[in-house]
Structure 1
């Protein structure tokens, strides 16, 4: 019997009732002041940007809010967006000499806003307004005015410091670009006809495609975001798909994502998608109400659409009381950090929710093919070198096991006991060990093809605990839960 196994068996009963030490868990929930609304995240979720009445701002857990200036009033055409590395921000600013408002770029190197080229004459004092920045920071998209008669989607290129008019195929209508992929080769947004109806649009290297629902063939609503490789586009529902949030690809056409129950006369929209397209967040709200009065959702193929607030609590996140995660707007690349606007009373406050202590590469294993779920364990840096044990439950995550201020989000059952007694026994490898110098580890749950048919439909949840071994044996940290569903 190895040292880690002896320690775990000796200390496991203590660990599940011990008071938490002073080490902080890496999973976290941060809520900003009412009126400070977050709109985007860097690739790893460590930096967020948003807008308030005082202009655009950047936020990090360590540094809090830093106001960047720029033009402040919140609006769909005036939200700050950030590059993958967190060093370049797009938004809006006002030229102090001319008084004109325009799409602008803020860089760490300059410490200031630079207005970008428009595509035509301004409308009153507005030249252009912002939509998004590419992951590599070399392309910015939004809307540019062609006088007050029309406005078109535009794309600014860092290589030439010029903007391209992406055009509109609608006679008398305009267009708007709201998102772009990693390298700027794919731009998404919408086209508006002369009567104001909006249809989702994609521009690939400047060539436009209007988006339709695969089932009905009717137009989809505004496109809001796109995966890093440009394959998947997400957006807002329209009458042709029952006003449901949707995702679209060239191969599949538009696919509706469903609705949350209990919302009167619902209208849904997807606002952000992970880099690989596997995780989508968005909102469902009653018709005629602002998006911030919506209920936020998370969508995955294995889960379908679930209410974001309840899902986060079930996975072990400490969402504050009387806080509804109503309008998620941004995801980190791997989807483990979610940010947006929470409803607190009658107001909207920015939130950043980290659920990245335990991350899975998949959420289903099929009986026909078998397979492995790879798990990445990421604890707080102070826990480097400490003992971890990865546990599981077939009975869900609520109420979990309370240990002082921490809650391990697993309901104890026979599977929990089996994993506690033999953490590294099949089907799990890496279920017990010591975190490395970066407080990380990995584990794998493997099932062969043709596993027992009686297991079909089971949902297993995994989460881990970190113990002060070597040391006092106290419980230092618990992770969020991740799920695995066994399918045919």
Structure 2
């Protein structure tokens, strides 16, 4: 446990679950303010546990659903950090264990884990990967009579299948949702291959293809909070590259680090779409990167060293989450030969929201910002 400094920078390890020495903790999601992290780790008794981490409270298991083998894994967290989503075993054991989507909440007086369930008609198997503010909308994949299918769940309408793109084998997955729950992205199957899709209530699911030049193999991983920017991994004539896609400009390949093997992927993006993090390669191997339009792709290790941070024995291999303002980043890497999760403070952000009162970075000061203010009113800040 540690206290984040008011200014400056640093590199920290998230630690181990319940005294485990397995060195297996995967940080997968970060709240918008950078103060809550969710993921999966191995506990001392060998079970796989979803975890919640905070700077003051450290790392702790959030448990699992009742029934069946003990197992849980967290894949995403809501923008304000009170909702964690993932998968857990609800019934059965071993080869017959049924893993289904869950929602874990710390929003009210009672902390609880709720089984979202699965789509009707298929095998009982689902997972949730992302949630909007306060968990009002959750997205992921279930199994319907058609096959693996993207779903949208809401606290009002329940579980809804989202279909698939036309052509190809029926298979779709929703990977992220905008802060207000109105925009969803994912990937689906067509005759050409795997494509990026974007969904709104007005348009439904619309496919947007892939980067130009290679096989159609597009894996979207994250959506900006304002719903304007999707990031992921696409196929080009020379390899697989991280991409940025926007409503106005379409696909843009982000390249790779010097000396790399043309294998990069973008895993998260800030609320306004301006800063992207992920995994790239250089002559040595995998490296965590940060990207923006001014500086292009940079190794996070180099950025920390330039700011005077002693990174010790760390080799930062992948960045999986970034805070709204681009200050805090999480990821995985090697520390003295052990695979560990890390948390980096890159220092005071270069810019804040362009609109005064715009707390969630969507360029509008509205009721969502007021809700965020009231929810966090009285909290201590760095």
| TM-score over 0.5 (shorter chain) | yes
Task: Say if 2:47 is the partner of 1:63.
Answer: no
Q: 1:100 aligns with which of 94, 98, 101?
A: 98
Q: Matched residue of 2:301: which SS?
A: helix
Report the alpha carbon displacement of residue 345 of structure 1 after superposing the two structures with TM. 4.9
Task: Provide structure 1 residue ranges, at least 5 long, that are not aligned to the other structure.
Answer: 1-22, 287-292, 363-371, 373-437, 441-488
State how many pairs are aligned. 331
Alignment of 1:378-417 (within 5 A): none
Q: Deviations over 1:79-122 (max 9, x none)?
A: 43111221111111222479532111011144232111422234
Following the alignment from structure 1 to structure 2, what is the Cα–Cα distance between the partners of residues 241 and 247? Answer: 17
Q: Matched residue of 1:313: which SS?
A: helix
Following the alignment from structure 1 to structure 2, what is the Cα–Cα distance between the partners of residues 222 and 120? Answer: 26
Report the alpha carbon displacement of residue 317 of structure 1 after superposing the two structures with TM. 3.1
Cα separation, partners in 2 of 1:243 and 1:152, compared to 1, 3 Å = same
Task: Say if 2:77 is the partner of 1:82.
Answer: yes
Q: Matched residue of 2:62: which SS?
A: strand
Following the alignment from structure 2 to structure 1, what is the Cα–Cα distance between the partners of residues 296 and 92? Answer: 51
Alignment of 1:305-344 (within 5 A): 305-319=297-311, 321-344=312-335
Cα separation, partners in 2 of 1:120 and 1:323, compared to 1, 3 Å = same
Q: Matched residue of 1:167: which SS?
A: coil
CA contact (8 A) 2:239 2:262 kept: no
Q: 1:304 aligns with which of 296, 306, 330?
A: 296
Report the alpha carbon displacement of residue 134 of structure 1 after superposing the two structures with TM. 1.7
Aligned to 2:195: 199
Alignment of 1:229-248 (within 5 A): 229-239=226-236, 242-248=239-245
Following the alignment from structure 1 to structure 2, what is the Cα–Cα distance between the partners of residues 60 and 183? Answer: 24
Q: TM-score, normalised by structure 1?
A: 0.61
Report the alpha carbon displacement of residue 318 of structure 1 after superposing the two structures with TM. 3.3
Following the alignment from structure 1 to structure 2, what is the Cα–Cα distance between the partners of residues 159 and 130? Answer: 17
Q: Deviations over 1:19-44 (max 9, x none)?
A: xxxx9665332213421111111111
Q: Matched residue of 2:267: which SS?
A: strand
Q: Which has the larger radius of gyration?
A: 1
Aligned to 2:363: none
Following the alignment from structure 1 to structure 2, what is the Cα–Cα distance between the partners of residues 244 and 267? Answer: 6
Q: TM-score, normalised by structure 2?
A: 0.77
CA contact (8 A) 1:118 1:163 kept: no
Report the alpha carbon displacement of residue 214 of structure 1 after superposing the two structures with TM. 6.9
Q: Deviations over 1:114-139 (max 9, x none)?
A: 1114222343xx42112211244211
Alignment of 1:416-435 (within 5 A): none
Cα separation, partners in 2 of 1:102 and 1:214, compared to 1, 3 Å = closer
CA contact (8 A) 1:213 1:240 kept: no
